[in-house]
């Protein structure tokens, strides 16, 4: 017997009659029943080396050195939040910087401070004045972010506060002859008063009602300023505020000086943001998120008071910035109140992501760069800004700085989808069916049965069928025997049987009902003349049923 493509099976019973040659039949080559198990349980999805499995090497950290930390004197607050841990894969000690934002901020501020060194000479005027405008607008947007993000008051009247403070401070400076350093403080007072005035409706109104109302306030300010003769309707703005620049500076030094002053203003706004958003008021308001106000109130958080406090504090800061605006530009223009300014600064907020200081600064950087540096594009630059804003609103949930979170959420969704498809594959029962099933043995039995049938399907071949046809009863080759054992083991319901119509003359295939007293049903309208023919026809039927499942 050779291990050829079609091996020969010899009936072992015939060894008891050595005088005769044994009965031989062509059969399948051996197939281990293990193959289906191996195939079913193999892990087939293609895996990429990404995800949360930390098998890579991060940052070495000795346990002892972990505790020598840089702290802000005299507090115990750490400069960097460093977390020591063991790598789950390598079991090596390593360190992770939990929050890398201080590093990015330090790098960004260093870049801002050294930026004038790297500006090409040809664009110096444009870029430096744009950079001052960027720093001032970033300061305004940081305060606005406090109102919109932290306090959750959707106020559009930010520029109205800034403009009112700038106009008021300039007017006072012209009337009373105030020195330049008084103007920001005068602006603070005006901003506070203005803030109280527009905060009053905020206690009654919420959400979009307030947004639309403040939109109206901005329009009202614009029309008032454009038409009032005292506020310079004729000259297109009120000018004549004293400048903070020392006398006798050259043109480029003036630009440099005003740039650094504006950057200092931005850092001041960053501090205000940090000390309102990150301290008590911010924590209180983080608890009273949108649609969870009731819960916060029940816990004893007076969120309306906290909101108004944040609103007033940022209004005062906006007033300060307004005063600075006046001494920076030498006055105020009605442009501060225009719908376009409002739109552009909303674009700044939205592009970076609402509720983050870095979002306000980056959004301002992008928009001011497009608006002030790419002047050659003409009106198309607004189209560009609008397109960016539209695509951010359509595709991103939290602006540019929300991309990371959004990507992680998306990746987790995809992962769980994949996991769901994988889980379904092994079992016959779908997951929801399996949870409904009371007898959990059934779940495993059906899974086993499916694997067994998958294996048996591969055993069906012409050789096996021919072997069965030659002798339906008696000893069989291994493949055929496995098939027959499986067929015989099935339950009584709808099991095929042979009905003897007339012995040695007529046989017929029927299907048992499986219930006592219910007659079997006739399967086909055909009689077989010998029992062997009937056995074989029945076998073929079962094979066909097996292949169909």
Partner 1 sequence: MNWGFIITNAITLACIYGTLAIGISVTWSSLGLINMAYGFIFALSGYGAWLASVYIAPNPAVVMVAGILTGAAGGLIVCLLAFIPIHDKPNFQLRALIATLAISLVGNQILLWWFGPRAKSLPRLFGNWNADIFGIVVTSDKLGASLSAIVLLTMILLWMRSSRRGLEIRAMMMNPHAASIVGIGVRRTGIYVMALTGSLAGLASVLLAQTYYVAPFSGITPMIKGLSIALVGGLGSIPGAIIGAIMLGVNEALTSSLLGGQYVLITQFLLIIIVLLIRPRGISGILDKAREA
Residues at the site binding partner 1, with contacts judged by CB under 8 A: 154, 200-201, 204-209, 211-213, 215-217, 219-220, 223-224, 227, 339-340, 343-344, 346-347, 350, 354, 378-380, 382-383, 385-387, 389-390, 392-394, 397
Q: Which is nearer to partner 1, 373 or 396 (CB)?
A: 396
Q: Which is nearer to partner 1, 179 or 216 (CB)?
A: 216
Q: Which is nearer to partner 1, 318 or 344 (CB)?
A: 344
The two beta strands, 24-26 and 8-10, are antiparallel
Our measurement of the distance from residue 250's CA atom to the centroid of its chain's CA atoms, rounded to an integer in Å, reads: 51
CB of 389 to partner 1, least distance (A): 4
CB of 190 to partner 1, least distance (A): 18
Q: Which is nearer to partner 1, 387 or 544 (CB)?
A: 387
Q: Enumerate residues 6+ apart whose C-beta is below 8 A from 348.
A: 137, 141, 360, 363, 364, 366, 367, 368
CB of 134 to partner 1, least distance (A): 19
Q: Which is nearer to partner 1, 361 or 392 (CB)?
A: 392
Task: State both tokens at 375.
Answer: 């002047």
End-to-end Cα distance, the chain: 35
Quickly count: other Cβ atoms within 10 Å of residue 527's Cβ.
15
Q: Which is nearer to partner 1, 103 or 220 (CB)?
A: 220
Q: Enumerate residues 6+ apart whose C-beta is below 8 A from 61.
A: 82, 84, 93, 94, 95
CB of 184 to partner 1, least distance (A): 28
* CA distances to 219, 313, 340, 402 from 273, in Å: 27, 10, 25, 19
CB of 317 to partner 1, least distance (A): 24
CB of 138 to partner 1, least distance (A): 19
Q: Which is nearer to partner 1, 28 or 345 (CB)?
A: 345
CB of 332 to partner 1, least distance (A): 19
Burial (CB < 10 A; 0-12, 13-18, 19+), residue 127, is: buried
Q: Give the integer Cα–Cα distance in Å for 6 and 463.
A: 9
Q: How many CA atoms lie within 13 A of 374 on its CB side?
A: 16
Quickly count: other Cβ atoms within 10 Å of residue 331's Cβ.
22
CB of 360 to partner 1, least distance (A): 15
Q: Which is nearer to partner 1, 242 or 398 (CB)?
A: 398
Find the Cα–Cα–Cα–Cα dihedral 428, 434, 436, 440, rounded to 10°: 110
The two beta strands, 82-86 and 93-97, are antiparallel
């Amino acid at each position: 017997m050779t291990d050829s493509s079609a091996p020969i099976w010899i009936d072992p019973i015939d060894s008891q009659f050595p005088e005769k040659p044994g009965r031989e039949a062509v059969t399948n080559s051996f197939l281990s029943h293990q193959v289906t198990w191996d195939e079913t349980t193999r892990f087939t999805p293609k895996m990429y080396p990404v995800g949360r499995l930390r098998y890579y090497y991060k940052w070495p950290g000795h346990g002892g050195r972990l505790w020598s930390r840089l702290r802000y004197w005299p507090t115990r607050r750490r400069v960097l939040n460093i977390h020591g841990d063991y790598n789950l894969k390598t079991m090596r000690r390593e360190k992770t910087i939990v929050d890398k934002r201080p590093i990015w901020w330090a790098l960004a501020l260093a870049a801002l401070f050294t930026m004038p060194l790297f500006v090409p000479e040809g664009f110096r005027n444009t870029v430096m004045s744009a950079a001052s405008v960027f720093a001032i607008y970033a300061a305004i947007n940081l305060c606005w972010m406090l109102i919109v993000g932290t306090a959750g008051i959707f106020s559009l009247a930010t520029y109205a506060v800034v403009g009112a403070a700038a106009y008021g401070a300039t007017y006072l400076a012209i009337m009373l002859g105030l020195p330049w350093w008084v103007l920001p403080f005068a602006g603070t007072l005006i901003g506070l008063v203005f803030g109280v005035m527009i905060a009053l409706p905020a206690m009654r109104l919420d959400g979009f009602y307030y947004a639309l109302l403040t939109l109206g306030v901005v329009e009202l300010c614009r029309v008032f300023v454009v038409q009032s003769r005292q506020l310079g309707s004729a000259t297109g703005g009120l000018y004549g505020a004293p400048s903070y620049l020392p006398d006798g500076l050259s043109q480029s030094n003036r630009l440099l000086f005003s740039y650094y002053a504006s950057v200092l203003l931005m850092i001041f706004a960053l501090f205000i943001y940090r000390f309102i958003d990150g301290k008590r008021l911010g924590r209180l308001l983080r608890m009273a998120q949108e649609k969870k106000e009731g819960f916060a109130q029940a816990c004893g958080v007076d969120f309306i008071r906290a909101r108004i406090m944040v609103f007033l504090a940022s209004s005062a800061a906006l007033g300060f910035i307004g005063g600075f605006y006046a001494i920076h530009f030498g006055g105020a223009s009605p442009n501060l109140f225009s719908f376009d300014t409002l739109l552009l600064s909303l674009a700044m907020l939205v592009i970076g992501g609402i509720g983050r200081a870095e979002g306000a600064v980056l959004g301002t950087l992008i928009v001011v760069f497009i608006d002030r540096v790419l002047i050659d594009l003409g009106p198309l630059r607004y189209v560009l800004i609008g397109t960016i804003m539209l695509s951010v609103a359509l595709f991103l949930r939290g602006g540019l700085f929300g991309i990371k979170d959004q990507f992680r959420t998306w990746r987790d969704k995809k992962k769980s989808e994949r996991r769901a498809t994988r889980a379904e594959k092994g079992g016959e029962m779908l997951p929801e069916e399996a949870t409904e099933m009371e007898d959990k043995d059934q779940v495993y039995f059906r899974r086993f049965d499916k694997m067994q049938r998958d294996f048996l399907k591969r055993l069906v071949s012409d050789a096996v069928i021919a072997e069965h046809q030659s002798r339906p009863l008696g000893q069989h080759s291994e493949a055929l025997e496995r098939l027959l054992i499986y067929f015989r083991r099935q339950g009584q319901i709808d099991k095929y049987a042979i009905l003897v119509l007339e012995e040695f003359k007529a046989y017929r295939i029927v299907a048992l009902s499986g219930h006592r007293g219910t007659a079997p049903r006739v399967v086909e309208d055909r009689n077989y003349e010998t029992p062997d023919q009937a056995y074989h026809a029945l076998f073929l039927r079962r094979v066909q049923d097996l292949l169909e499942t």
